[in-house]
Structure 1
Amino acid sequence: MAETEAETKARKERERDELYALDISGVEWLCAPGTEQHEERVEIAYLPGGAVAMRSSLDPSTVLRYTEAEWRAFVLGARDGEFDVEV
């Protein structure tokens, strides 16, 4: 049986609460190859269940967390050019 809209919203809120309740103090932060420690960069850490945390090297105390589905959607969108910047 399919979830109702209210059930889906409640499930997503539960997932988000669980994700932000995780202790990530010991995670390994990764960045793009070739960047130096002093350079501004985006860092990610893989979390349990396929989730991902993301932060800026300039503000490491502000951490965004994404469920596996959210991260997958972002990566696929980026690969498809959805976030390309016009120069």
Structure 2
Amino acid sequence: MEVPTKGSLVDLTHAAWFKSSRSGPNCDNCVEVAFVTGGIAVRDSKNPTGPALIFTPDEWDAFVGGTKDGEFDLA
């Protein structure tokens, strides 16, 4: 499956998807991540044939940094 993103196509056909090590074995609210040529893909683990979001490495780094800094924590 090819996904159009930021002016190019990203091929997800052979993407190696994985869940966070923080995801529990019975958790049904998980996302999966794959490092692909040109970026990082994220999808809903319950819908593996559904849409995927594609982030540039800089966007991904900003997200991971914000997560570590508590930027997205609920008050």
Tell me the TM-score range normalised by the shorter chain. Answer: 0.7 to 0.9
TM-score using structure 2 length: 0.76
Identify if the C-alpha distance between structure 1 residues 26 and 37 changes in structure 2 by more than 3 Å, giving closer, same or farther. Answer: farther
Q: From the two aligned structures, give the one with the greater helix fraction.
A: 1
Identity within the alignment, %: 33
Name stretches of at least 5 consecutive residues in structure 1 with no aligned partner: 1-14
- Per-residue deviation, residues 10-29 of structure 1 (Å, max 9, x unmatched): xxxxx7122xx121111100
TM-score using structure 1 length: 0.67
Aligned length: 69
Q: Runs ≥4 in structure 1, deviation > 6 angstroms?
A: none
Alignment of 1:80 onto 2:69: yes
- Give the CA RMSD over aligned residues: 2.1
Alignment of 1:47 onto 2:36: yes
Task: Indicate the structure (1 or 2) with the bigger Cα radius of gyration.
Answer: 1
Name stretches of at least 5 consecutive residues in structure 2 with no aligned partner: none
